[in-house]
Amino acid sequence: MSEIILGKYHGVGNDYLIFDPKKNDVVLNERLIRQLCRRNIGVGADGILYGPVMEDKKIKVRIFNPDGSEAEKSGNGIRIFSRYLKDAGYVKERQYYLTTKAGETLVTFLDDAGNCMRVDMGYAVFEAEQIPALGFEGEVVGESIFFCDNFYNATCVSMGNPNCVIMLERVDREKALHLGPYVENAKYFPNRINMQLCQIVDEKNIQVEIYERGAGYTFASGTGACAAAAASHRLGLVEDAVTVHMHGGDLFIEFEKDGRIFMTGPVVYIGKITVAEQFFA
C-alpha cells in the first residue's frame, strides 16, 4: 500500500478527481471511488476520471460516478481530462481524439494553457430504443410522461449517455432535488437516466437544473447541457447557437447543419491532492 496522488479540476462547478494509473499503484475499486468522492469525509467530487489508458494507440478515459458506477460519457469530464493530459505533457497538439465508453471525441484547445476547449459531442439521438426508454416507439420528443406526482412534457435524448429533458416554465434546485430521484429510477429507463429541467429564456438562452445518475444534484453537466439544448432545438424553441445557463456556470452549444453538436467551455485546475495511506487502508 502507498498514498494516492490525485489531480482535481472543475468545469463550470462540475468537479472531478483525476486518478492516473501511471502515478498510482493502488487498485481503484467501487469502495475506494465512493470513499474519495464523499465530500465530508473524503476528498469530494462529482466523479473520478481514470486514465490515461492506452488502447490500440488511442488515449482512453474511464468515467466513474460517485456511487462507483461507470458512465459512458461526460462533457465536462472530457474537457477536464483533456486539460489534465495537457498539464501532464501527454498531449501537446492543438487537437486530439479522446476515447470514452461512448466512442471517440475530437477536442480542440482554444488557448495554449488549455483553459478553454471546443468539443465535438456528436449527434443527439431521440430514438427510444437507443436511449433506452421502454414503452415508447420511435422518437421520444415532447411526450407527456408521468413521474412522481404529475405528467411532464419530456424529451429523451442520448448523447452517448441517457438523458430526460423536462420542459418547465420555471426551473429551480428544489424542483430538481424533488423530481430527480423519481426520473432517474423510473420504470421506463432500465439503465437509469440523467434528468435536466429546462426553461426557455429566449431563442439563444436556456436555464437548466440537473440531477444525474449515480451523482444526484450537480452544478453543471456537459452532456446534460447538450441534451437540454438538443431537445429545445428539436422542439423548435431555440436557434443554432445556444448558451446553457446552469448553477455552476455557462456552456456554449452549437448545432451544425447536419445536426452535429459542439460544446465550448472552460476548465479550472484546483490542485494536486495526496491521500494518506490510512484513509483507504
Binding-site positions: 14, 65, 75-76, 161, 194, 212-213, 222-223
Interatomic CA distance for residues 225 and 179, integer angstroms: 18
Asked if residue 225 and residue 159 are part of one domain, the reply reads: yes
Verify that 112 and 138 share a domain, yes or no. Answer: no
H-type alpha helices, the chain: 30-37, 75-87, 173-184, 222-234, 277-280
CATH of residue 91's domain is 3.10.310.10
Which whole number is the average pLDDT over 203-218?
A: 96
User: Once rounded to an integer, what is the mean pLDDT over residues 218-238?
Assistant: 97
Task: Specify binding-site residues for substrate.
Answer: 14, 65, 75-76, 161, 194, 212-213, 222-223
pLDDT digits (tens, 9 = 90+) for 133-171: 999 999 999 999 999 989 999 999 999 999 999 999 999
Whole-number Å distance between alpha carbons of 150 and 208: 20
Q: Report residue 266: phi and psi, to 5°.
A: -90, 165
d(CA 6, CA 271): 9
Residue 33, Cβ density class (10 Å: 0-12 exposed, 13-18 middle, ≥19 buried):
buried
Q: How far separated are the first and last CA of the chain, in Å rounded?
A: 8
Say whether both 81 and 61 belong to one domain: yes
What confidence tens digit (pLDDT) does each residue in 92-117 have? 999 999 999 999 999 999 999 999 99
Task: Copy the grid coordinates of residue 192.
Answer: 437509469
Q: Are residues 80 and 202 in the same domain?
A: no
Bridge partners, 177 (sequence order): none
Mean pLDDT of all residues in 223-229: 98
| Residue 211 domain boundaries | 128-259
CB 15 within 8 A of CB 281: no
Burial 123-145 (b: 16+ CB within 10 A, else e): ebbbbbeebbbeebeebbeebeb
Angle at alpha carbon of residue 181, lines to 206 and 74, rounded to 5°: 55
Q: Are residues 101 and 138 in the same domain?
A: no
- pLDDT higher than 80, residue 281: no
What CA–CA distance (Å, rounded) separates 179 from 240? 29
Residues 150 and 105 in one domain: no
Each residue's pLDDT tens digit, 4-49: 999 999 999 999 999 999 999 999 999 999 999 999 999 999 999 9
Residues 60 and 174 in one domain: no
One domain for residues 162 and 68? no
Q: 140 and 21 in one domain?
A: no
| In a shared domain, residues 239 and 154 | yes
Domain count of the fold of the chain: 2
Same domain membership, residue 154 and residue 271: no
- DSSP-derived 3-state class of residue 128: helix
Question: What is the value of pTM for the model shown?
Answer: 0.93
Per the prediction, the chain carries an average pLDDT of 96
Q: Are residues 29 and 111 in the same domain?
A: yes
Are the CB atoms for 137 and 129 separated by under 8 Å?
no
Q: How crowded is residue 174: how many other Cβ atoms within 10 Å of its Cβ?
A: 10
